[in-house]
Chains A and B, each alone.
Chain A
């Protein structure tokens, strides 16, 4: 290393550059400065901050933060960085930066990959555990909140609602909490279940049904969504997912907006594939337990698909794998021993609902 380096010095009092000479002693971690051939003093490495512009080094002392020492010497610059590093005076940010763009990018890509993996494999079970911790009063509150606004915009068909209630009363839907049933007048082929046990059936979906087994299948499917708290689980999952995403983009204020948004769209909340499968299978079990032909579930799917020639009903569009689901139903039905009893009561109530 060269003994003495020429440098430029700004004293923090005036903007005039002064000539200086510098000696770095890397054993004692000191900087010896001589300004304009007169004043000389010592800077300790631990007090220093620096900027690098190519070979040019700008050094500032935290004790006299306005003074600047400017050195244009490649060799000195490297030596200085090494001395600062040894002295633990380089923060994590600068250390990472000095790895070079390709290494930083590689680290970032790996971290992003880990987050994506966590998003798909770690988040869902955690979200479900969280949902399990939420009291059922939360389910009721959020369901009631949604139903209030929903009813403001939709009309209840009171007669059909009464028949639907009678129909459901004949069934064991394996529910732990009371379920409520409502028929609304709508041309939309749809039905949904709210976390408070409220099951809403649109009149158009009833008109498309040909047998009461299909209605049992529909109620069984929707009741299972309630029984297994699917909407609350999805809500937790979406929320956790959004939090992850907003963390990635360092944006925190959108979480509340998401909560509001999800609460407003409860009825079109699309469940995950596994939740749909669970509701299908539990719904099928309800059919069998009630000694109703389980093929009602298959017929329900077929009816819905057939009616979708012109437009795709929402209940199907959010469940894109209908064919796969139907095959799954066929498979379970063929593997299970079940008993069917004709049920005149259900059949006659169904006729009332249809007309």
Chain B
């Protein structure tokens, strides 16, 4: 077994992202998902979700090789059942506190805390599952974050956010991002993220005020700065080799993307959303540039298989959105 190209290890490599998804194909998947979900009175939902994710991942290619999402409806269905059980347990405890112990204040506090406490678990579970089920050229992604660590950190950052009357939330967001990203692996490639709360706060304050002053026009440029901040801070390393990511998106680009998406969706009574979603994905991958010298022909499998989908559905169930 010999690698086809193993020379030039220190030379700059070409990385070319492409997104091939077509609105018509995505729309067909959505309709079939809808049909099967309807016929099964909603039970098909996790399978539908798996089909959708599989299409989006599969249509994303780097140097002409497609990504792959291996998650199945069955795994996500199990995750969904766990969420339901958690929900029922919380509601029962709440009702016991309220009706039997008769401590209404404590009951409400418990309810809020329970649903709040699930967030770091959901983040952890979701990363763990999503990454482990994603692969490229047969090499799995993985997430090595420690659950107890992120739970502790999460509450610490939330505490800081509360005592700074919300100002620290910029750090909360970026710290979570940094922690999760630096624990992502692709085979023996390690990810990292240089984001920091201070820059993030300034970027958003500037965006907010300029958007107001320009009566909303600046919002597209704000959006492009947010996107650039997410992408520019991503790094990958493999031993001495590294890759740096950068955004090539412009405010004008976002303007065109969002306005056309809006028109497509509005004039088709929402049916055009499939096309709008595909345009967005294409825009994202067209505007991510990677530069560096990691040879993507030389990555080795390091991550274990993992099939617990608890977080995957928790994120969906509680409508938590990971940017």
Q: Tell whether A16 is near chain B: CB-to-CB under 8 Å.
A: yes
Is A247 an interface position by the 8 A CB rule? Answer: yes
Task: Indicate whether B47 reaches chain A with its CB closer than 8 angstroms.
Answer: yes
For the complex formed, measure the closest distance between the CB of B275 and the CB atoms of chain A, giving whole angstroms: 12
Question: Given that A53-B66, A105-B31, A252-B42 are known contacts, is A12 also in contact with B37, CB under 8 Å in the complex?
Answer: no
**B28 contacts A13, CB within 8 Å?**
no
Given A16-B3, A111-B35: A67 in contact with B138 (beta carbons within 8 A) = yes
With contacts A53-B20, A111-B35 taken as known, whether A15 is within 8 angstroms of B137 at the C-beta atoms is: yes
Chain A residues with Cβ below 8 Å from B41 are 247
Interface assignment of A104: CB less than 8 Å from any CB of chain B: yes
Which of A91-99, A160-168, A295-303, A339-347 participates in binding chain B? Answer: A91-99
The answer to whether the Cβ of A66 comes within 8 Å of any Cβ in the partner chain is yes
Docked complex: B128-180 residues within 8 A CB-CB of A = 135-140
SS class, residues of chain B in contact with chain A: mixed
Which B residues are CB-close (under 8 A) to A14?
3, 139, 298-301
> Are A66 and B135 neighbours in the complex by a CB distance under 8 Å?
yes
Chain A residues near B36 (CB-CB < 8 A): 92-93, 96
Q: Does A18 sit at the interface, judged by CB under 8 A?
A: yes
Name B35's contact: one of A11, A35, A66, A107 (CB within 8 Å): A107
Partner of B296, one of A15, A92, A100: A15
The reply to whether the CB of B256 lies closer than 8 angstroms to some CB of chain A is no
Contact A101 B27 (CB under 8 A): yes
Interface size on A, residues (CB 8 A): 38
| A36: Cβ under 8 A from any B Cβ | yes
A65 touches B70 (CB 8 A): yes
**B137 touches which of A17, A65, A93, A248 (Cβ 8 Å):** A17
Sort chain B's interface into a size bin: 35 or more
Interface 1/0 per residue, B53-78 and A, CB below 8 Å: 01000110000001010100000000
Chain B residues with Cβ below 8 Å from A16 are 3-4, 6, 297-298
The answer to whether B45 has its CB under 8 Å from any CB of chain A is yes
> What separation, in Å, do the CA atoms of A104 and B66 have in the docked complex?
26
Q: Which of A115-136 contact B (CB under 8 A)?
A: 115
Q: Which residues of B have CB within 8 Å of A240?
A: none
Chain A residues near B45: list those with CB within 8 A: 250
A111's partner among B2, B38, B137, B187 (CB-CB below 8 A) is: B38
Nearest chain A CB to B257 CB, angstrom units: 24
Chain B residues positioned under 8 Å from A335 (CB to CB): none
Complexed CA–CA distance, A53 and B4 (Å): 23
CB-CB < 8 A to B280: which residues of A? none
Q: Write out the residue numbers on chain B whose beta carbons fall within 8 Å of the beta carbon of A148.
A: none
**Contact A66 B42, beta carbon cutoff 8 Å:** no
Contact B42–A58 (Cβ < 8 Å): no
Give the residue name and chain of the B residue nearest to A36 (CB).
B1
Q: Give the nearest-CB partner of A100 in chain B.
A: B28
Name the distance in Å between B30's Cβ and chain A's nearest Cβ. 10
Query: In the complex, which residues of chain A have a beta carbon less than 8 angstroms from the beta carbon of B66?
Result: 51, 53, 58
Chain B 1-18 interface 0/1 with A at a Cβ cutoff of 8 Å (1 = within): 111101000000000000
A255 contacts chain B at the CB level, 8 A cutoff? no
Q: Are B300 and A13 in contact (CB under 8 A)?
A: yes
A35 to B1, Cβ gap below 8 A?
yes
The 7 closest A-B pairs by CB, nearest first: A10-B138, A15-B299, A16-B3, A15-B137, A12-B138, A66-B138, A96-B32
Which residue numbers of B lie inside 8 Å of A, CB to CB?
1-4, 6, 20, 24, 27-29, 31-38, 41-42, 45, 47, 51, 54, 58-59, 66, 68, 70, 135-140, 187, 296-301, 305
